[in-house]
Amino acid sequence: MEQLHIEYLEVGDGYVKGRMPVNERTKQPMGILHGGANLALAETIGGLGSALIVDLDKFDVRGSQISANHVGTAHAGWVFAEAHILHKGKNTHVWNIDIRDEDGKLVSTCRLTNFVIRKK
């Protein structure tokens, strides 16, 4: 999170918003935002969302699966991610995370599944 300069912006009931700069740390060699950086942003804010829902004294949250469709590009500035929970189960949480550029254009849409694991 610190390496990519990911920041949390807003947390609410069933959603989390964050942002990440498009810079030398997050671009691929062709000068556009790296798809892997998008995945790191998505998993970071979706993970926080799950962590805020469970009792962290009793449970751990771990990413189980993430997928993305990269449908646009970003070259500079910031990208903004908004995660919304789709499924809040006893053992799993499923999040949809959309990542947009500063103009609101969709860059990536991601789906994240988190395991909710009871601590021993």
- Phi, psi (rounded to 5 degrees) for 41: -65, -45
DSSP secondary structure code for residue 118 in this structure: E
Is 43 annotated in the active site? yes
One-letter identity of residue 80 = F
Q: Of 10, 24, 43, 82, which residue is the catalytic one? A: 43
Question: Residue 24, class by beta-carbon neighbours within 10 Å (0-12 exposed, 13-18 middle, 19+ buried)?
Answer: exposed
User: Which residues are designated catalytic?
Assistant: 43
